Structure 1
Amino acid sequence: MKEDKISVLQTGMADWSDILKTENDFLSWSFLPSQTSLLDFEAWVEENGQPSVLLLTEISTIAELEAIMALVDPYRIVVDIKEAEEDVTRRQQLKSHFASYLDFSNKENVIYQLTKYFYFAQYGDRIRIEMLHISPDFYHDVTYFGSSEIDISGEFGQSYQSVASWQFNAIAEPRFNHEYWLEHTIDETLEAELVVRLLTTDSLKIVDSWTVNLKNQVKPIVIASDLATEYYLSFTIRVKGYGKLSLGSLHHRRSRLDFGQFLVGGQRLVDQKSEEIMTYFYPGNLKPPLNVYFSGYRTAEGFEGFPMMKKLRQPFILIADPRLEGGAFYIGSPEMEAKIIKVIRDQLADLGFSSEQLILSGLSMGTFGALYYASNLEPGAVIVGKPLANLGNIAANGVFLRPGEFGTASDLLLQNTGGTTSKHVDMLNQRFWHKFSKTPFNHTTFAIAYMRDDDYDQTAYDDLLETLGNSRAMVIGKGISGRHNDNTGEIIEWFLNQYQRIIKTFS
């Protein structure tokens, strides 16, 4: 079995493999009849590993359904929507394993969706504003805000006209469908649309196109093609009316349609500024604590830490930030921050856990998310490695201590304060301390591993220690020699040891 094939394990009365098209090189199909014993299912998983999909047909005939579903990861179970609606007794079982539902009356469409959306590996990238080409007719009405945003203002007339396009076509893999999301805000007096054109790579012939009204867009645009070879995608912005259009990164990811974002089961948070945060919940053993892991800085979009958190066997949430070049440190509009808090609180409520049965965690950029939202959630523990708290200082250090490195911090400073002076540096620093210093942390343990010669935020640990000294929190600290990006292995080892130790206190 090739590693890149989607492994489908079907169980039911009738084997569907005979309807697979011979040219489908992406599915590896196995069939076990409904009455197959649990031991035989366990033997199959032992030999073949986790299937990409457990396809349950005729679920009423499947012996030991609950035990069989427990053998595979959540979100990887697919059942007939009509059968699930009719079988009330099975519905709660399916819900607890986060099953997906499809209409099995069209088997060819089911196989198509399995082929296109249930692959294992996540993938995402972005096209940044540096790649935008502005029409010369409007260039004098353009303002750049670092590398994060470009504003285009003016009178554009009563009919749509092109004002910007991306300089290079994107190359799309035919095996996957693709989706795109453009960060933007738009004045009420302006209409704007994103036009996507599909071109063949040999002749550059346009064979398909999509147009999205940016005011009405609530989901990424999905590009689906039946071409067998790679193809190009071009992108153009057209506007009419008058006012200002602000554009950020154009995000691209392999589509999972309605089955998730990046991972099957991944969820998308979006605010009125069209900025996104991604979350993913894994139920684990459904026992306390709920572990939340904020991804570190990632130029490749997607979640971080899935294998690491899964090994802990507890329920967990992954949170990823696809903004800027590799993340915007999980701060944003009040709307977005409230949504992040709600995701965590809702999951605590669903599990029947209290806030004291919550651990927030992260490494490097992820430490800011864990520490920042600890003020709202007052968890039982916060576990962080290479803490970053003074975001303004990180930007200033990019000028004086690390010139030419980590320009994202400067974008973050400009985006959140409107300037780059020492006053703005302090303003961004206080974004964190204004919340953190006012929280009593009556039941919170902080486990913090820091770099003694950190060149991003030299005072983070000392500042945290001083502030927490005025609270009721317990602090466990460990200093490790090196600068911020040194000795990551030792940090991760300590981080995981603290996780395992603290989890035992919940038993």
Structure 2
Amino acid sequence: MTISILQIGAENWAPYITDKLDWHYTSVLDLPTFLAMQRDPYVLEQTYVLLTDDYLESTLLSSQINEWPALRVIYFAHEVSSDFQKILDERRAFRVEENTPENVEKRIVTDMGTSQYGFSTRFSAEQFIPYVPEGIHLQRQGDFSTQFAGEFGEDWQQLGTLKAGTSDFQSGRANEVWLEYNHTENAEPALLFVFYKNGEVLTQQLIAGQSLRQLTTVAPPEDYENYEILVLGKGQGTLDFYVIHQRASRHGLGHLLPGGTWQLTKENEEVLSYFNPGDRQKPLIVSFADTRLHVDGFEMQEALNLLGTPYLLFTDARIQGGAFDIGTAEYEATIIKIIKQKMKTLGLRSEDLILMGASMGSYPALYYAADLNPAAVIIAKPIVNLGTFTAGSTISRGFDYGWRLDVRRYLSGYVRPDDNVAMNEKLWKHIENTNWTNIKVALFSMSQDEYDGQSLGQLLDFFATHNAPVKHESEEGQHTEKLDEMVDFMMTNLNVLRNTMRAEGE
């Protein structure tokens, strides 16, 4: 999709812009006339607004930006009045260093598209080819873990190669890379990206040390034909490898989406979130994504943009597919802290909050209700008994079975049948003492849900026992069916809740 730009400034850049962008121009003074000629003068019809004056102070312009949707303004001015800057910050505008037509166009085309691109590569038997040096012990634990233990030596030596695809890097774009791993003693890992053409090495990039605990940009040469990732080790101890994550870099303008946020807990677990303040009125909708086994990404952005309310998205990409947005005390506290920070930013309270999720996302929507006491919870195709689910349930072993076993080990530390009860009880114990009488529940389910459908009766009994006001709709079919009906159910209930909550505040 071509990005559409509304340039506002003293000089029209249109003669210098290529057809890569759909370009529109107006001066600040002519902005009201420009908007009046649109189909709807109150709607921002372009993807982004680009401010090209080096000094920004216009009350007319800042007032209009204040009315437009968030995350839609780009600017490079070094001098901005304090009132104007406050509005830019609140509307989450993007500041770039580039200030010429050619460079700004390149930056927008490269980094400001709204498509999401990210994937993970496991250290599994299918994706990782080990090379075990003499004296080193190799141990695999399902698709989750590949361990090397022993004396690696003082210099880097190869432990294996990760299979890489020629399309891993989008045309002309760099990737942000980070490695999920653990180590003992003084054992150290490294990744070596090697790019080839005609069988010859073009470039190499080594990532080691602290760079593995943060996002590191890897930029391929323009004319490379293929590449590979060599896994290296040195020192003494154990190196335990899990997953390599790669996502298209936006060079500081966001992660997965423009404005998306990435952070790492002290225990080296990533948290990916995306906040849009919308029209700054209640409710704040917090939506948790379903499992994404093959590509990383946030969900529900377009639908929630149409709704116009503030929203916060989470996507869980740990262990390639996610771990239900739960885990250690620190990880869960981080999720709660992010939500409360956005509530504070908007001046909202717990009664102004809606938690939402489908399939894997239904679990955290229920789970964090105990910590946040929201006004409502909207869930679809719920998965609530993680012990039963990760043990296999009635799902074919050929479909995402490795991921479910990985989830089991990630959350419990083991893959043992006798952990079923404890894993199942995690949710119920956490939400048991919550006052559900004031939390409206909207529930969408499938009559032949083979994922965790056997728990539906248990969930309905729980709500009945706790006097929760429940609206339940069921459709015929299995877990992955009736997606359109599911989304329609969730958005319909969001609309009703939003209108009711706002009417109550008048």
TM-score normalised to structure 2 length: 0.90
The residue that corresponds to 1:296 in the other structure is 290
Letter in 1 for 2:309: Q
**How far 1:345 moved relative to its partner?**
0.7
CA contact (8 A) 2:437 2:469 kept: no
Matched, 1:77 2:78: no
SS where residue 291 of structure 1 aligns?
Answer: strand
CA contact (8 A) 2:177 2:245 kept: yes
**Range moving further from structure 2, 63-72 or 430-439:** 63-72
**How far 1:494 moved relative to its partner?**
2.1
Letter in 1 for 2:30: T
User: Take 2:39 and 2:181, find their aligned partners in 1: how far apart are those partners?
Assistant: 45
CA contact (8 A) 2:62 2:84 kept: no
Structure 1 segment 83-482 matched on structure 2, within 5 A: 83-84=79-80, 87-103=81-97, 109-130=103-124, 131-137=127-133, 141-171=137-167, 172-200=169-197, 203-225=198-220, 227=222, 229=223, 231-298=225-292, 299-398=294-393, 400=394, 402-407=396-401, 408-482=403-477
**How far 1:153 moved relative to its partner?**
1.5
CA contact (8 A) 2:135 2:150 kept: no
SS where residue 14 of structure 1 aligns?
Answer: coil
Q: 1:19 to 1:500 in 2, by over 3 A?
A: closer
Q: 1:54 to 1:181 in 2, by over 3 A?
A: same
CA contact (8 A) 2:409 2:415 kept: yes
What RMSD, in angstroms, separates the aligned Cα atoms of the two structures? 2.6
Letter in 1 for 2:179: L
User: Take 1:90 and 1:434, find their aligned partners in 2: how far apart are those partners?
Assistant: 49
Letter in 1 for 2:123: I
Q: Which runs of 5+ in 2 are unaligned?
A: none
User: Take 2:85 and 2:218, find their aligned partners in 1: how far apart are those partners?
Assistant: 33
**How far 1:137 moved relative to its partner?**
1.7
CA contact (8 A) 1:166 1:234 kept: yes
**How far 1:397 moved relative to its partner?**
3.5
**How far 1:458 moved relative to its partner?**
2.6
**How far 1:74 moved relative to its partner?**
2.3
SS where residue 486 of structure 1 aligns?
Answer: coil
User: Over residues 294-332 of structure 1, what are the superposed CA-to-partner deviations in whole Å (9 max), with x where a residue is unaligned?
Assistant: 111223211111111122211111111122343221122
Name which of 52, 62, 66 aligns with 1:66.
62
User: Take 1:455 and 1:414, find their aligned partners in 2: how far apart are those partners?
Assistant: 22
Q: 1:366 to 1:348 in 2, by over 3 A?
A: same
**How far 1:72 moved relative to its partner?**
5.2
Letter in 2 for 1:392: G
User: Over residues 227-269 of structure 1, what are the superposed CA-to-partner deviations in whole Å (9 max), with x where a residue is unaligned?
Assistant: 2x56533212222111111212211221112111111110113
The residue that corresponds to 1:10 in the other structure is 7
**Identity percentage of aligned residues:** 26
Q: 1:485 to 1:186 in 2, by over 3 A?
A: same
**Range moving further from structure 2, 335-344 or 44-53:** 44-53
**Range moving further from structure 2, 376-385 or 494-503:** 494-503
**How far 1:61 moved relative to its partner?**
6.6
Q: 1:30 to 1:45 in 2, by over 3 A?
A: farther
SS where residue 140 of structure 2 aligns?
Answer: strand
Letter in 2 for 1:466: D
**How far 1:59 moved relative to its partner?**
4.7
SS where residue 285 of structure 1 aligns?
Answer: coil
User: Take 2:456 and 2:392, find their aligned partners in 1: how far apart are those partners?
Assistant: 16
**How far 1:506 moved relative to its partner?**
0.5
CA contact (8 A) 1:50 1:72 kept: no
User: Over residues 5-34 of structure 1, what are the superposed CA-to-partner deviations in whole Å (9 max), with x where a residue is unaligned?
Assistant: 3333321112345555xxx66444443223
CA contact (8 A) 2:8 2:49 kept: no
SS where residue 171 of structure 2 aligns?
Answer: coil
The residue that corresponds to 2:487 in the other structure is 492
**Range moving further from structure 2, 149-158 or 204-213:** 204-213
User: Take 2:463 and 2:360, find their aligned partners in 1: how far apart are those partners?
Assistant: 20
User: Over residues 202-250 of structure 1, what are the superposed CA-to-partner deviations in whole Å (9 max), with x where a residue is unaligned?
Assistant: x2432322222244444322123562x5653321222211111121221
SS where residue 434 of structure 1 aligns?
Answer: helix
**Range moving further from structure 2, 438-447 or 407-416:** 438-447
CA contact (8 A) 1:34 1:63 kept: no
Matched, 1:54 2:32: no
Q: 1:503 to 1:178 in 2, by over 3 A?
A: same
User: Take 2:300 and 2:430, find their aligned partners in 1: how far apart are those partners?
Assistant: 27
Q: Which runs of 5+ in 1 are unaligned?
A: none
User: Take 2:239 and 2:77, find their aligned partners in 1: how far apart are those partners?
Assistant: 42
CA contact (8 A) 2:179 2:212 kept: no
